[in-house]
Structure 1
Amino acid sequence: MSANRQHDLPPCARHPDRPTGLRCVRCERPACPDCLREASVGYQCVDCVSEGAKSVRAPRTVSGARARPPGARSLVVVPSLIAVNVAAFIATAVQARSITENEGALFLHGMLIPDLIASGDWWRLFTSGFLHFGGYGGFGPVHLLFNMFALWVLGRDMEVALGRAWFLTVYLLSLVGGSTAVMLFGNPIGGVAGASGAVYGLFGGIAVIVFKRKLNPTPVLVLIGVNILLSVTLPGISLLGHLGGMVVGALATAALVYAPAARRRQFQVGACVALVVVMAVAIGVAVATLDGGCSMDAGGNLWCVRSQY
């Protein structure tokens, strides 16, 4: 093109030193090739593309959180929880000098023993959900492996479906839900540990999501039924912890996915806070009925003095 011909062309709206014969199909302003982007029809300038993106609603999850692309790379909470559980198990195994019989490790101070919680060890309500001891006939690694496999299979779908923050909320509420059931109905001096309560909360949560999305619930219900059957038939498994976690996980997930759109965030937060309050009251009631006369020495031995009444 001759110099005179280029001089007759209008300058690019973003680059005045660049004459151009091209225009944005949306705003019709002159634009050089560097400032144009291919659209469904013709080309649009970068300003119109940016403005159009603002008017497009970002995809949301079933809980209303911002959706992220599916895939393992988008997962953060699930691998982090698995890492914490594995690290805790390694710590107990190192302290006990055994990977199959780590009950005597100092980390036993995190096991859920209702009477010790009544004595003031309230942190056991949470730490017990990250410790795995020699269940399943003394094989702690099997206990850990089962729970972490279930956490990975269920958690990767739940984290994508709910969003990271809400998924972590459901997981932790389910963990405490399992502890609450054990506090209310379990053996006062019986030891309970493991991520099963939280994992069963994911079972309850995934079932709620399946019903919400009107998917075929049969596979999920069969899976839940099989796991409950295993909880009843296998020795050394806390059925109370499993059921408590499942109920709380289902309730928390239902509050998230069935929240009214107009006041979604307020409803979701309020429902989760209400669950925390209910569990706190239930734990308080359980503590009031316990002696609180147990203690544990540095070797992991439990000593109890029961009140005579």
Structure 2
Amino acid sequence: MDQVPGSPQEPRDAQGDNGLPGCFRHPDRPTGIRCTRCDKPICPECMISASVGFQCPDCVRSGSGRAAQTTAPRTIAGGTIAADPRLITKILLGLNVAVFVAVMATGGALSPLVNRLDLVGLAAEPGGYHLVGVAEGEWYRLLTAMFLHQQVAHIAFNMLSLWWLGPPLEAALGRARFIALYLLAGLGGSALSYFLAAQNQPSLGASGAIFGLLGATAVLLRRLRYDMKPVLILLGLNLVFTFLWPNIAWQAHVGGLVVGAAVAFGMVHAPRDRRALVHVATCAVTLLAIGAVVWVRTLQLVG
């Protein structure tokens, strides 16, 4: 969510609605990085790599810090600093909207596209059920269901949340790690929904991934020692809404939240000298755990 621009002299710990402070030179840009010399929040454009962490342009110009020109700037998770910290968020938002338009154009909730891509394990028939979808080996539905929405209110809420939570995380983690976080959180939500929900009831939506971003935001704020009250209040309200509102797949929300928080923890707490290894291991173990959950549930249904 955009902030109202202020002067460069505003308090350096001023917090935006998303819990992250604005850059001291660009207050409308939330950031999770601070200058290692003066502790001012700095956005990717203002970051200058130093021997330890990043420094702001003021410290470098004044000679209070020495920039390391041979090292490319990195995010707190070791990702490459991007000129546009919203690019992946925009792409994900565009994919969700494009699929929604395609669904509406081909019949809405009764669209053959929905029937081929939503998350389902059993189908009702006279005298019982028969296996369909994921239970028949169509594991791709765990991914494609993340980009399906049937109602305007549903996609509007999810995309607003994505636009609000995505850019700060994308800037703090880097593009590749942000993509991994989003997809793994969505898959985690799909897996838990497949494992626990009624298997003859289709499930779809990006809510699992969105809850993953909420969990990741909480982990990031704690790592940076920022005020966690705004995100915890938001998370609490969303969980209350999840369990009280009818026809919501709470399993997907909880699964996405747990996976998103776990993956983010591995990303932002990895030792600097083994960062890449820890990140790959975190994502690999998470993916294996998701696969195991789906495999066990499929065996239960087949048996």
Calculate the TM-score normalised by the size of structure 1: 0.71
Corresponding position of 1:288: 299
Confirm or deny that 1:106 pairs with 2:101.
no
Structure 1 residues 128-139: aligned runs within 5 Å: 128-133=145-150
Measure, in 2, the Cα distance between the counterparts of 1:143 and 1:279. Answer: 25
Structure 1 residues 75-90: aligned runs within 5 Å: 75-90=86-101
Corresponding position of 2:139: 122
Measure, in 2, the Cα distance between the counterparts of 1:224 and 1:244. Answer: 14
Alignment equivalent of 2:203, drawn from 180, 189, 192 = 192
Corresponding position of 1:64: 78
Tell whether the 8 Å contact from 2:263 to 2:282 is kept in structure 1 after alignment.
yes
Greater CA drift, 73-82 or 276-285: 73-82
Give per-residue Cα distances to partners, 1:87-114, cap 9 Å, x unaligned.
0000010001xxxxx2100111111013
CA root-mean-square deviation: 1.8
Measure, in 1, the Cα distance between the counterparts of 2:216 and 2:121. Answer: 26
Corresponding position of 2:172: 161
Measure, in 2, the Cα distance between the counterparts of 1:53 and 1:157. Answer: 25
**Which structure 1 residue ranges, 5 or more long, are not aligned?**
1-38, 42-51, 97-101, 134-139, 292-306
Measure, in 2, the Cα distance between the counterparts of 1:54 and 1:226. Answer: 44
Confirm or deny that 1:201 pairs with 2:212.
yes
Give per-residue Cα distances to partners, 1:72-94, cap 9 Å, x unaligned.
x4421100001100000000100
Deviation at residue 40 of structure 1 after TM alignment:
5.6
Measure, in 1, the Cα distance between the counterparts of 2:222 and 2:269. Answer: 11
Q: Which amino acid aligns with 1:103?
A: A
Q: Which amino acid aligns with 1:107?
A: L
Tell whether the 8 Å contact from 2:85 to 2:170 is kept in structure 1 after alignment.
no
Structure 1 residues 22-61: aligned runs within 5 Å: 55=69, 57-61=71-75
State the SS of the aligned residue for 1:193: coil
Tell whether the 8 Å contact from 1:201 to 1:246 is kept in structure 2 after alignment.
yes
Measure, in 2, the Cα distance between the counterparts of 1:249 and 1:60. Answer: 21
Deviation at residue 158 of structure 1 after TM alignment:
0.7
Alignment equivalent of 1:143, drawn from 120, 139, 154 = 154
Corresponding position of 1:22: none
Deviation at residue 165 of structure 1 after TM alignment:
0.6
Q: Which amino acid aligns with 2:145?
A: S
Measure, in 1, the Cα distance between the counterparts of 2:248 and 2:90. Answer: 25
Aligned length: 230
Corresponding position of 2:28: none
Deviation at residue 56 of structure 1 after TM alignment:
5.2
State the SS of the aligned residue for 2:246: coil
Corresponding position of 1:239: 250
Corresponding position of 1:152: 163
Alignment equivalent of 2:237, drawn from 207, 226, 234 = 226
State the SS of the aligned residue for 2:243: helix
Q: Which amino acid aligns with 2:119?
A: L
Of structures 1 and 2, the larger Rg is shown by 1
**Which structure 2 residue ranges, 5 or more long, are not aligned?**
1-59, 123-132
CA distance change for structure 1 residues 40 and 276 in 2, over 3 Å: closer, same or farther?
closer
Deviation at residue 221 of structure 1 after TM alignment:
0.5
Identity of aligned residues (%): 33
